[in-house]
């Protein structure tokens, strides 16, 4: 499971949450976010995960998993935080 692998802990799927993020009237991201309860992670009890096409020509699939650590407290906030990190080039 990708979440377990990315964060080196156990993970149990909890739910799927549809997210539609709009900025200045335009959709910047829309899709389903998978919510997982984490087991054995030192800092987080939950993670939010999704995949999307990436690359200059959308030639590869990118998997993203964001931990529920403040300010992340929901699927929407996880997407927002990741959008900002990607825009700033933060890994």
Cα Rg for the chain, rounded, in angstroms? 13
Q: What per-residue confidence (pLDDT) applies to 3?
A: 75
Q: What per-residue confidence (pLDDT) applies to 38?
A: 95
Q: Any idea how long the chain is?
A: 91
Query: Mean pLDDT per segment of 10 residues, for the chain of length 91 residues?
Result: 68 96 92 95 93 81 92 97 87 64
Q: What per-residue confidence (pLDDT) applies to 6?
A: 62
Q: What per-residue confidence (pLDDT) applies to 76?
A: 97
Q: What per-residue confidence (pLDDT) applies to 91?
A: 64
- This prediction's pTM: 0.85
Q: What per-residue confidence (pLDDT) applies to 52?
A: 83
Q: Give the residue carrying structure tokens 């996880």.
A: 78
The tokens for 81 are 């935080």
Domain boundaries, the chain: 2-88
Q: What per-residue confidence (pLDDT) applies to 40?
A: 87
Q: What per-residue confidence (pLDDT) applies to 60?
A: 87
């Amino acid at each position: 499971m990708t979440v377990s692998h990315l964060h080196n802990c156990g993970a149990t799927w909890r739910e799927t949450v549809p997210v539609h993020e709009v900025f200045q009237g335009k959709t910047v991201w829309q899709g389903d976010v998978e919510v997982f309860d984490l087991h054995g992670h030192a800092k987080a009890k939950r993670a939010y995960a999704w995949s999307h096409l990436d690359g200059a020509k959308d030639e590869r699939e990118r998997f993203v998993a964001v931990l529920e650590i403040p300010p992340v407290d929901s699927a929407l906030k996880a997407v927002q935080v990741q959008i900002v990190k990607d825009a700033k080039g933060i890994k």
